[in-house]
Structure 1
Amino acid sequence: MSDESDTISDRIQGKLDDLTRAERQLALSILENYPASGLGPLAELAERANVSVPTVARMVQKLGYNGYPEFQAELREELGAIAKGPIAKHETWAGAAPLEHILNRFTDAVIDNIRNTLAHIDPDAFDAACALVADQKRHLYIVGGRITHTLADYLFMHMQMIRPNLTHVQSTSNAWPHYLLNADEGDVFVIFDVRRYENNTLKLAEMARARGAKIVLFTDQWRSPIHRLADVSLTSRIIVPSAWDSLATTMLLVESMISAVQTLNWDDTKDRMEALEEIFDKTKLFRKFT
């Protein structure tokens, strides 16, 4: 079994260029409804992907498994990991906790998450996401969840300084449907959704997509169901020795996006920052030392 930092999805995406046409067709079928797509009988998976049973067997071996049962066992393990709550996560780490100090263990885990994330991210996809977010002709909506609203708040605050024409959607509020009234075709929704994926957020994404909006998704290595609706999905590793997942790597991607978008819009951003500083001076928000 692989550990939680290396998913079957990662293996499939890493092998796509080496697969035959039929195997690639099968791989894309699996990714379409991952990880649940591979939990049924082998023949059922082959029929759904419109490929032969031997094609499934060959591709599973190319991914490094001895057979379909081993492949399925790891899928079930991933499905269990997705559903873990804080207590289960803590028990997973506590049972095998090394003796080193938590500062070192936690930092090592975060660094490993960053390395894994950067090894799998597509720079072209990241650039495409930044271009969508930077396009001031498109209204920008930023959506967070129960925990990830902190990242949404952070991104929204910086985007307020960088560009006009944006809205912070409170996805956990009963009022979120009101935000969709003004959503038009081509608008951009930046959505944060990590494991224990939220039903409200998925419903919002479905409705935004139905209105013709573009979706940029920040998610984890297992990928939120929203990834099937997203124009760009940016995945981060989130496993740390804690009852809670880490958003440190996701924050790295968010801050990288902020830097990229401000550069794309620098002339306008500079003007907005200068105007904001004048407002700060008038309100005496910050202490002056000169």
Structure 2
Amino acid sequence: MTRYFYRHNLIAMVSQRTIRDLINETSQALTGTERKLSTTLLSDYPFAGLEPIQVLAERTGVSSPSISRFVSKLGFQGYQDFQRQLIQELKASQRSPIELMVEEREVDGSFLGDFTKRASALMEEMAHSITDAQFHRVGTLLSDPNRRVFVLGGRVSDLVAQTLSRHLKRLRDDVFHMESDPETWPDNLLKMRSKDVLFVVDFRRYQQSISDLAKMAANERKANVIVLTDKWLSPAVTYASETLAVPVESGTVWDSYAAGFTLMEALMTRVAESDWKKHGKRVAAWDALNEGRQKQKNDT
């Protein structure tokens, strides 16, 4: 076996659940008091859970013993154990490649083969974490001709956003890929109408500017904000009507966007095939114009 430097075992990384996941999984079994507490924790996640238990009790009107019972129901030994997990999640959301590359791991077979297995595992996990109902809702929003669609990603994740916007432009009108410079955003914000769509991509080491944009789009322009992010959740999800959380940790020095790209391709295909008779005509016209431009260029 060949040795390379990686962070953790793949299975351990893709199966790790956040406290948000645990709360959502137990939602049906919660009492009225516990649902009130969980709402507070999720609405200001993870920071509400980092407050002292007495402060959280006063804020929610839920007694300290009830909070202790709640975290025990989630599987923690006590409130301090619960907070330690939240702190670990918060640290994980800001990890850089330098921090990820901390220990040695044996590669199973060839490097490319091992890496492909990791990417495949992330895509499979994504397919189970995004429900059919949510996928349908997002696809419907993106295909609605009465809604303009604005798309933007982060420093690196904008590559994922471009995959979506470039294909959507071939399928429908009124798709705008926003520039990374916030100074240009007012022009796009002024174009947004109520119920238009802002689709943002923001993975860990999040950009505050993207969260600020989501806030303005949701609060001032009344747009539907869709956020593609990871399990630690971009701050922009506070303003999202739909949150698509996909796995990114492959156990290597880099986070993987394989699941994000796959989800974008699935959405593009869903939009295209929702009305291919109409969309196919636009694709054909688009290709004809490109071919005509190329022929004219060759003739000169």
1:128-170 superposed Cα distances (whole Å, 9 cap, x missing partner): 1111111111111011110111111111110011110121111
Query: Alignment partner for residue 81 of structure 2, among 70, 86, 91?
Result: 70
Q: Equivalent residue for 1:53? A: 64
> Is contact 1:106-1:241 (8 Å) kept?
no
Provide the secondary structure at the position in 2 that maps to 1:97.
strand
Query: Alignment partner for residue 98 of structure 2, among 63, 75, 87?
Result: 87
> Is contact 1:110-1:246 (8 Å) kept?
yes
Query: Alignment partner for residue 230 of structure 1, among 230, 240, 260?
Result: 240
Measured in 1, the distance between the counterparts of 2:181 and 2:154 equals 6
Q: Equivalent residue for 1:109? A: 118
Provide the secondary structure at the position in 2 that maps to 1:143.
strand
Residues 143/58 of structure 1: CA separation in 2 closer, same or farther (3 Å cut): same
1:88-119 superposed Cα distances (whole Å, 9 cap, x missing partner): 1222xxx1422434334433332332333333
Measured in 1, the distance between the counterparts of 2:107 and 2:255 equals 21
Q: Equivalent residue for 2:149? A: 140
> Is contact 1:163-1:268 (8 Å) kept?
no
Taking structure 2 as the reference length, the TM-score comes to 0.87
Measured in 1, the distance between the counterparts of 2:190 and 2:131 equals 33
Q: Equivalent residue for 1:240? A: 250
Query: Alignment partner for residue 216 of structure 1, among 200, 212, 226?
Result: 226
Q: Equivalent residue for 2:105? A: 97
Query: Alignment partner for residue 26 of structure 1, among 25, 37, 43?
Result: 37
| Unpaired stretches in structure 2, ≥5 consecutive residues | 1-11, 296-300
Q: Equivalent residue for 2:211? A: 202
> Is contact 2:13-2:251 (8 Å) kept?
no
Q: RMSD over aligned Cα, in angstroms?
A: 1.9
Provide the secondary structure at the position in 1 that maps to 2:106.
coil
Aligned-residue identity in percent: 31
Kindly indicate whether residue 259 of structure 2 is the aligned counterpart of residue 249 of structure 1.
Answer: yes
Query: Alignment partner for residue 271 of structure 1, among 268, 281, 285?
Result: 281
Residues 109/42 of structure 1: CA separation in 2 closer, same or farther (3 Å cut): farther
Taking structure 1 as the reference length, the TM-score comes to 0.90
Query: Alignment partner for residue 40 of structure 1, among 26, 46, 51?
Result: 51
Residues 17/35 of structure 1: CA separation in 2 closer, same or farther (3 Å cut): same
Residues 72/96 of structure 1: CA separation in 2 closer, same or farther (3 Å cut): farther
Measured in 2, the distance between the counterparts of 1:179 and 1:259 equals 26
Moved more, 13-22 or 97-106: 97-106
Superposed displacement of residue 282, structure 1: 1.8
| Unpaired stretches in structure 1, ≥5 consecutive residues | 286-290
Residues 204/64 of structure 1: CA separation in 2 closer, same or farther (3 Å cut): same
Residues 96/74 of structure 1: CA separation in 2 closer, same or farther (3 Å cut): farther
Measured in 2, the distance between the counterparts of 1:16 and 1:236 equals 21
